[in-house]
Structure formats: C-alpha cells, structure tokens
C-alpha cells in the first residue's frame, strides 16, 4: 500500500509564559491510501496538536521544531502559506473536535457548506445549494432542505458535528483528519457517519486519520492503531493485534479503562498518575516512566520506537509479552 501521508519525526513546542512546552516529540506514523489509522491516547497526549501541525493550523505560540509531513510529494510542514491554503480543504480536510466553534455563527449552515462546495468541491453557483442539501441528507439530517437555512445555534451539538462532516467531505479530499468526528453523536448516527467515511475512502482512496478516545470505535473502524502518550507515539500495530496483545504498558492500561457491555464500574481502572510536565529540559526519555509499574533502571536510557515484530512498533525497554 502506498503511503498517502507519512509523518516523520514531527516535534512541536509551545512558547508560553511558564516556559516552553514540548508537546510533540519525534512523532512518526504513516497512513496508506484508503486506509484508516486511529490515533488514540489520553487527553493532552498530543493528538489534536498533531492534527493541527499537519494542517498548518497551529496557533502562533506553537512551532514545528522538527520533522516532515509528506502528502505524496509535498511536505506540508515546508509548504508556503499560500500553497497550504490551497491544499487545505481541497486535498486535506479536517473535522474539528469542537464543531460549534468551528462553524461561523452568523452564516446559515447551508451557505457554509455551499461555500466549500464552490471553492473546493467543483460545484457552481447553480448547483451548490442542491449539493449542500444532498450533503446534509447524506449525514442523516432530517428535512435537509429547510435545515440549510438554520444557524449553528439552532442545531443540536450532534447536528453541528454532522454539518462539519458534510463540509469536510464536500471537497473529496485525499486525506481526512477526523478529530473525534462522532463525539456527541448517538451510536446509530455514528454508524451512518462512519459508513459514509468508509465508503468515501473505498471509492476515492481517501486516507483517514481517526482521532478518538473510543477504543471500541477504533476496533471497528481502523485497520491500524497508533497510541500516543505525552507527545510520543508509544505503539503502532494492526488493530486486532494491538487490542489482543498490547506490548506497551500504557496501551494495556488504556484498554483496561474502556467500559464494555459487561462488567462493573469497580472493575474499570484509570491509568495511574498523570501526564508529566512537558516544560523544560528535564523530560525523561520514557515519558510514561513515572506512571509505569514495569519501570527498571535502564528505562532512563534513550528510547527509540522500534519494530518488535513486523508491523508492530513500540517505544519501550521492557514491553509486555516479552521476557524481561
């Protein structure tokens, strides 16, 4: 499978009054054409920052300090603002984590979709409205023709989310970054929306980065899963492998925290400890070390992600399922 996107050694730092926050450190992963890669990890692990960096949408305080993000031949991180603006929306589209604030509050949603359709989706003045209605219907909004005139505040949270999805898909991008695309949607609508993304991927070869907290959703929808922790990618593997035989202690903890259709609240365990402070120079090589129950003396040594087995890469000195 050819890589639609290859992210290599992406590092991002934020300059704040309280010091430099090293939010991402040498993040690497690839997504194949037509493939869905799930990016999972605790809140604050750097999933959205990764997405924003790829999209060239980091806020002013954030700076890419190393790395490349190759979309085909183009390095998105080196592209000029003008060419990036052309790529964005057309070749790369993003569904934002916070739908309501990403929509323009004073323009009807139908107009906003029609705008994108005209700019990037090949629609004309004459058919843009009809295509906007079609896009709303595809994401399951009832009475789409009348709803095109609604303002974002008149829609439920989930409906705004669906409008955002309709906008992102309108341009038929090569790469879709979906940051919690179905958060706020009920599971039946979620299934419809995820089917839509999967259909589009199958039809056009669109690559998808699915950012989610929901390991069960990743289990059903992604071919591979990349686990992030404190700005590091700690494990990447095929979905079934990662869920059945996680090798990084952190991945195993995340799985143990996921509610299922059986079991009690008492049985669920949160990941102990908190993300480390990512300011300053004294960040440990393994950013999970302070929380890890497998830590040993050599865990302070330099750590590079390596392939533990074909297609299964991991950044840990003492992985699970491997004799210590």
Partner 1 sequence: MTPLLELDAVSKRFPLGRRRLFAKALPPEVHAVSEVSLTVHAGETVGLVGESGCGKSTLVRLITRLLDTTEGTIWFDRREISGVPARFFARDTNRADIQMVFQDAGESINPRFTAADAIADPLRKLLGLRGAALQARVEEAATQCGLPLALLGRYPHQLSGGQRARVGIARAIGTHPRLLVLDEPTAALDVSVQVTVLKLLQQLKAELGLSYIFVSHDLNVVRLLCDRVVVMYLGRVVESGPAQQVFDAPRHPYTKSLIAAVPRLEGARPEAPRLVGDPRSPIDPDPNACRFHGRCPVGFDRCGTAMPALREVAPGHLAACHLND
Rounded to whole angstroms, the Cα distance separating 166 from 54 reads 21
- Minimum CB separation of residue 253 from ligand SF4 in Å reads 10
Residues 6+ apart with CB under 8 A from 129: 110, 114, 148
CA neighbor of 139 nearest in space, from 88, 175, 91, 178: 178
Residue corresponding to tokens 């599971």: 187
- Minimum CB separation of residue 319 from ligand SF4 in Å reads 7
SS3 64: strand
Query: By rule CB under 6 A, what count of residues binds ligand SF4?
Result: 11
Show contacts with Mg ion in window 167-226 (CB under 5 A).
none
Query: By rule CB under 8 A, what count of residues binds partner 1?
Result: 65
Mask for 15-54, x = binds ligand ATP (CB under 6 A)? -x----x-x-----------------x-xxxxxxx-----
Among ligand ATP, ligand SF4, partner 1, none, what does residue 260 contact (CB within 5–8 Å per kind)? Answer: partner 1
308 is a site residue for ligand SF4 (CB under 6 A):
no
What is the DSSP annotation of 235-293? EEEEHHHHHHS--SHHHHHHHHT---SSS-TTT--PPSS-PPP-BSS---SSTTGGG-T
**Helix locations, 139-186, DSSP H:** 144-147, 157-170
Mask for 144-183, x = binds ligand ATP (CB under 6 A)? ---------xxxxxxx------------------------
Among ligand ATP, ligand SF4, partner 1, none, what does residue 269 contact (CB within 5–8 Å per kind)? Answer: partner 1
- Minimum CB separation of residue 285 from partner 1 in Å reads 22
- Minimum CB separation of residue 62 from ligand ATP in Å reads 6
Residue corresponding to tokens 């939010």: 23
């Amino acid at each position: 499978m050819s890589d639609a996107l290859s992210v290599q050694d992406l590092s991002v730092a934020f300059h704040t009054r309280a010091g430099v926050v090293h939010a991402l450190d040498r993040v690497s992963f690839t997504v194949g054409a037509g493939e869905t890669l799930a990016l999972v990890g605790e809140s604050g692990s750097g999933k959205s920052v990764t997405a924003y960096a790829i999209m060239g949408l980091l806020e002013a305080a954030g700076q890419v300090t190393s790395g490349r993000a190759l979309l085909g031949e183009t390095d998105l991180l080196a592209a000029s603002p003008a060419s990036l603006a052309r790529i964005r929306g057309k070749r790369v589209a993003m569904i934002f984590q916070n739908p309501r604030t990403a929509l323009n509050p004073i323009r009807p949603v139908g107009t906003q979709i029609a705008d994108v359709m005209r700019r990037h989706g090949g629609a004309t003045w004459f058919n843009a409205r009809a295509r906007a209605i079609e896009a709303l219907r595809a994401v399951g909004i009832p009475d789409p023709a009348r709803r095109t005139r609604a303002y974002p505040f008149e829609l439920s949270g989930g409906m705004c989310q669906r409008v955002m999805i309709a906008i992102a898909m309108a341009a038929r991008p090569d790469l879709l970054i979906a940051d919690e695309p179905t958060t706020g949607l009920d599971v039946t609508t979620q299934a419809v929306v995820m089917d839509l993304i999967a259909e589009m991927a199958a039809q056009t070869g669109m690559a998808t980065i699915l950012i989610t907290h929901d390991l069960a959703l990743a289990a059903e929808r992604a071919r591979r899963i990349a686990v992030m922790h404190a700005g590091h990618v700690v494990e990447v593997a095929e979905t079934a492998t990662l869920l059945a035989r996680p090798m990084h202690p952190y991945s195993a903890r995340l799985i143990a925290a996921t509610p299922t259709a059986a079991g009690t609240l008492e049985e669920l365990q949160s990941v102990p400890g908190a993300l480390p402070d990512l300011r300053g120079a004294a960040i440990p090589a393994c950013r999970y070390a302070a929380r890890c129950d497998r830590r040993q003396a050599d865990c302070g040594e330099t750590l590079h992600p390596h392939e533990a087995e074909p297609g299964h890469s991991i950044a840990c000195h003492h992985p699970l399922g491997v004799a210590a």
